Amino acid sequence: MNLTLHLTDNCNLDCSYCIREKCPKDMTEDVLFRACDLAFSKGTKAGLCFFGGEPLLKKDLIYKALDYCEEKSQKTGMLFDCKMTTNGTLLDEAFLERARSANMGIGLSFDGKAQDICRVFVGGQPTSSVLEQKAKLLLSYMPDSVALATIAPQAVPYYAESVRYLHDLGFKRVSFVIAYGKKVSWTDSDLDLLRTQLELTAEYLKELFIKKDDFYMSAIGAKIRDCIRGKNPAERCHLGVRQMPVTPSGDLYPCTSFIGDEHYLLGNVFDGINDAKVMELAKRSSVPMTCAGCDLVKRCTNSCGCANRMNTGDENLVSPLQCTYERMLIEISDKLGEELYQIDPERFTKQFA
Ligand code: SF4
Ligand code: SF4
């Protein structure tokens, strides 16, 4: 099974949209090893995602988990894979050497040209020049690493420029999502500007397509792909089924935004998982009532219970912000998809079908 290990609640950054309550609480080795055992207890593959706070504050735990799981994988014959989401500031060559040997997938949280607006060190110092160096180092070891940008309203004017910048740095894949949560407030004019920036981004993606550059930008690329392939129902959000977070104290919840709500506690690494509760929750995670009858329902990410809960307090209620954003994204992606198909149908099919 797949577990997201919150190795620490602590972080060395102070991002404007961070949803974590930072407190210096670290996972113990005892919890870590029990979580690894749990990951190997079901299915044919054990998956760990190292997460935080900032996971690289606990590099020692990551090394221990990798050694332990690789040995367990050899003994049991079960596959083991791992990934990590990091703010990147603490990456170094020794860590990247070990991560590469474990075939770790690394997602680098990097807001591109808006980095210093939203992502600063605790104390307020800028992070962009450090991050640029760390991104180059990461790509020199693991060229397929992904840049993960979170766009808050104040970062919108830099959206298209950031996509270009991350591409020029050498990322082949980037993920752009919009920021949600209590610390973020979107206005209609932010959304108008977001549309303009998405259109500029689509123009840039067209330029790259013509140059035969396989750069993949997930926000738009995924919408084109889903239009052609149809969204895989298995990819829809089923809370607590595909990936389960483990807190530093070993508690299990359906997804990050539910952490701390006892109502959604699904067990812990010592006593195991309450399967009946997981099943009950998974059945509840379906298409939101307000979306019934919408033509876009099969292409919309309305089913993300975690985002819905952050925005509306209810995992099955989509916010007007999410609905507006999804409609905008699908419209712009469809227009771009048609243009790319006209330019080179064969290449288009190869890239998206
Ligand atoms: S790096 Fe992540 S955990 Fe740390 S402050 Fe930023 S968003 Fe929060
Ligand atoms: S576009 Fe809006 S109404 Fe339609 S499925 Fe998405 S969230 Fe629901």
Distance 9 CA to ligand 1 centre (A): 10
- 181 versus 23: the higher-pLDDT residue is 181
In this structure, the residue with its CA closest to atom 1 of ligand 1 is 87
Angle at which helix 345-352 crosses helix 188-210, to 10 degrees, equals: 120
Find out if CATH 3.40.640.10 is the number for domain 2-285.
no
In this structure, the residue with its CA closest to atom 3 of ligand 1 is 53
Q: What is the DSSP string of 191-251?
A: HHHHHHHHHHHHHHHHHHHHTT---EEHHHHHHHHHHHH---GGGS--TTTS-EEE-TT-E
DSSP 3-state assignment of 54?
coil
| Cα–Cα dist 189/17, whole Å | 19
Contact between 113 and 129 under an 8 Å Cβ cutoff? The reply is no
Closest CA to 191 of 226, 159, 215, 145: 159
pLDDT digits (tens, 9 = 90+) for 304-351: 777 777 778 787 788 889 899 999 999 999 999 999 999 999 999 999
Tokens of 228: 């052609």
Q: Which ligand is nearest to the CA of 152?
A: 1
Domain boundaries, the chain: 2-285
Beta strands in 253-338 (DSSP E): 267-268, 272-273
Q: Is the pLDDT of residue 285 over 60?
A: no
Model pTM score? 0.93
pLDDT digits (tens, 9 = 90+) for 238-282: 565 678 999 999 999 988 878 888 888 999 999 999 988 888 877
Note the pLDDT of residue 318.
86
Q: What is the DSSP string of 66-98?
A: HHHHHHHHHHH--EEEEEEEE-STT--HHHHHH
Q: Which of the listed residues 20, 22, 134 should we mutate to test ligand 1's pocket, taking the one with most ligand atoms within 8 A of CB?
A: 20
Note the pLDDT of residue 304.
75
For the Cβ of 13 lying below 6 angstroms from any atom of ligand 1, the answer is yes
For the Cβ of 298 lying below 6 angstroms from any atom of ligand 2, the answer is no
CA 188 to chain centre: 25
